[in-house]
Amino acid sequence: LAGGGAEADLAGRHVVVSAGGTREPLDPVRFLGNRSSGKQGYALARTAAARGARVTLIAANAALPDPAGVDVVPVGTAVQLREAVLKAAADADAVVMAAAVADFRPATYAAGKIKKKDGLEPEPITLVRNPDILAEIAGDRPRAGQVVVGFAAETDDVLANGRAKLERKGCDLLVVNEVGERKTFGAEENEAVVLGSDGSETPVPHGPKEALADIVWNLVSRRLA
């Protein structure tokens, strides 16, 4: 086991992990998206499986191979991600939202490809808000005692922003990454602090995404015990 120490401490548990980034279509060939690679979510799925959990990985547009022994549910949009997470969360012991969910989606979808019009400037794109999946699950847990974990990328006062977000979302743990040039998106390594609703702060030194994943499962496992 990588870093975790405990042996199959998640055996008999069902965990749900979301990974990747949602894509919000404008027309059949275009979408609004983000740069999330899915690597952190896939690392969480692999490490949970290695620790004995049954794992459902809700994968939003991640171009990564399915981890062995993991039930992978592919999705595209935030609305599809919500449906899949809520369904899988019904009997889950833990839900970890590592996916980058688009905050907004285009208000309308054009069934045909949007074309240029001679001499005219383009129409502005109107956006509407997507559902907040993490806040919804944390606020109305599908199962008593379920542990709910969020991820946040922050700049400026990273800890204060993270603490405020943890409270706003109502989750048990929030993994806060500091973003900046060359940090986090698409990288093989990660550095973070995990904030707990009990006031705890667990620093995660710079290292592989598996090491961060194992620390998250250590904290989840302690809360499930």
Q: Binding site for CTP: which residues?
A: 103, 113, 131-134, 151, 165, 169
Catalytic annotation on 190? Answer: no
| 3-class DSSP assignment, residue 223 | helix
**Range in contact with ligand CTP (rule: CB under 6 A) among 1-9, 29-37, 39-47, 149-157:** 149-157
| Residue from the set 53, 147, 151, 216 that interacts with ligand CTP by CB under 6 A | 151
Contact (Cβ atoms closer than 8 angstroms) between residue 171 and residue 179: no
Among 44, 49, 101, 192, binds ligand CTP (CB under 6 A): 101
Residue 99, interface with ligand CTP (CB under 6 A)? yes
Q: Which does 148 bind (CB under 5 to 8 A by kind): Ca ion, ligand CTP, none?
A: none
Amino acid at 127: L
- Site stretch for ligand CTP (CB under 6 A), options 23-31, 99-107, 116-124, 201-209: 99-107
Pick between residue 113 and residue 129 the one whose CB is nearest to ligand CTP.
Answer: 129
Hey, what amino acid is at 177?
A: N
Q: Is 71 in the site for ligand CTP (CB under 6 A)?
A: no
* Measured CA distances, 150 to 99, 162, 166, 171, 179 (Å): 9, 10, 8, 7, 16
Residue 157 binds Ca ion, judged by CB under 5 A: no
Region of 8 on the Ramachandran plot (φ > 0 left; ψ -120 to 50 alpha; else beta): left
Orientation of helix 209-224 relative to helix 39-50, angle to 10° = 50
Would you please indicate which residues are annotated as catalytic (active-site) residues?
34
